[in-house]
A and B are shown apart, each in its own frame.
Chain A
Amino acid sequence: MSFGFRSLNSSGFLQIDEDYENYALYQSGTVTVSSTPWFPYGSSNYGGTGQPGSVITLPTGIPLGSLMVAVKPTTESGSPYVRAVIVSWNSSGTLNSRVVIHAKPSTNITYKIFRKSSFVTASGSYGLSVFKSNGDLAYNSNQGAMAIETISSGNVNGRNISYNISMSSLSGKYIVCQNIGANGQVNVSSFPPAFSARWAWNAAEFNYSTNKIKIGLPTEVASRLNSHLTLGYDYYSTPYHGLKQVMIGRVI
């Protein structure tokens, strides 16, 4: 940038820049997922994704790939887990977006959806606004935002492998975990895999006693899965596992 406005925080990280748009809070809410636990096998459950979840349908017309979702357990106790991803697609010219949240059975999950500042309405008549040279809003202090505290990554190469992120406190902390993907799938040997697979999703397991977040197959799901596999009827296949990168921070 040759002129204009730029702000760095006390550690030297760029906060605001006229060249690039900050992300602002677009929509938030709470969902409660089903009380049905993840189950790797059942006569009426072939093809299911397993872990209980909720789907949030967003307005059409949002540019594909432009959303971000952060989540946390609404009640900060115990060791709930959550996973949230965004699915977006173009259907005959209509841009569709959905947020899919899987979580521990019966858990309330608070979600925050972010998009570019220029697409978010800001309330309030004073504060700080920064615009790009093309006139698009880059930052407005009246918009909600996410303040990043850490970006962490690790490998999750199987159903019993995970990594932990230690924080000084998990109170009020949200996680962006769109990249943690599937851990694997249970396959019923005697059926075509396409009709017998059941996905087991990786998730972020918040442990509010130890202030750690585990990235991998949730403890409850891993226990259920491992018990089931010892029966020997089915087998577990794992897709390729790369880095499972997450962002953790506060909503300000």
Chain B
Amino acid sequence: MAFGLQVRNASNQIRLDTTDRTFRLWSIATISTTADNTNLTVSVPGMRNDGTWEVLFQTGSTGNANMPTISLNSIYTNGYSVRVTTGFVFPAGSAVYFYATVFRS
């Protein structure tokens, strides 16, 4: 190998190679809204739109007749923006929740 880290297990199999690109947890945020079609911004110091950042969403709301959805609008310097569509939430006016996990690879 030219440079970098290579780790092998007891069977001499490569567990991590010099070309592997792993990812790490950066932060987790809770996003909630009661308003349909809402744009929200989340501050993440250090974040950049350089292709090494990923935001993954998990739905945190239950009991809805229809699933709320969330979309990533953009990643920018020190944060990202999302759009939340609440759908037909029961009871009317209740909040929908998402958990947004930021990774960096």
Chain A 199-234 per-residue mask, 1 if CB under 8 angstroms from chain B, else 0: 100000000000000000000000000000000000
A194, B62: Cα distance in complex, Å: 15
Residues of B54-95 whose CB lies within 8 A of A = 54-62, 65-67, 69-74, 82-83, 85, 87-88, 90
A65 engages B23 (CB within 8 Å): no
Tell me the count of chain B residues lying within 8 A, CB to CB, of chain A.
55
Residue B41 is within 8 A (CB to CB) of chain A in the complex: no
Say yes or no: A178 contacts B16, CB within 8 Å.
Answer: no
A179–B72 contact, CB under 8 A? yes
A1 near B: Cβ within 8 Å? no
B16 touching A87 by the CB < 8 A rule? no
What CA separation (Å) do A241 and B19 show in the bound complex? 34
Q: Determine the chain B residues whose CB is within 8 A of the CB of A91 once the complex forms.
A: 62
Chain B neighbourhood of A146, CB < 8 A: 22-23
**B9–A142 contact, CB under 8 A?**
yes
B59, A87: Cβ atoms under 8 Å? yes
Q: For the complex, what is the distance from the CA of A136 to the CA of B46, rounded to whole Å?
A: 22
Q: Total number of A-B contacts with CB less than 8 angstroms? A: 177
Per the bound structure, the CA–CA distance linking A167 and B85 in Å amounts to: 32
A185: interface (CB < 8 Å): yes
B→A interface (CB under 8 Å)? 2-5, 7, 9-10, 15-16, 18-26, 28-30, 37, 51-52, 54-62, 65-67, 69-74, 82-83, 85, 87-88, 90, 97, 99-101, 103-105
Residues of A within 8 A of B (CB): 7-11, 13-17, 20-23, 47, 49, 63-68, 85-91, 116, 124, 126-128, 138, 141-142, 145-149, 151, 153, 176, 178-179, 181-182, 185, 193-195, 197, 199, 239-245, 247, 249, 252
Beyond A10-B3, A193-B88, A247-B105, 18 additional pairs, beta carbon < 8 A: A7-B4, A9-B18, A10-B18, A13-B21, A15-B4, A23-B25, A23-B103, A47-B65, A87-B58, A126-B10, A127-B15, A141-B9, A147-B21, A151-B51, A239-B85, A240-B71, A240-B83, A252-B16
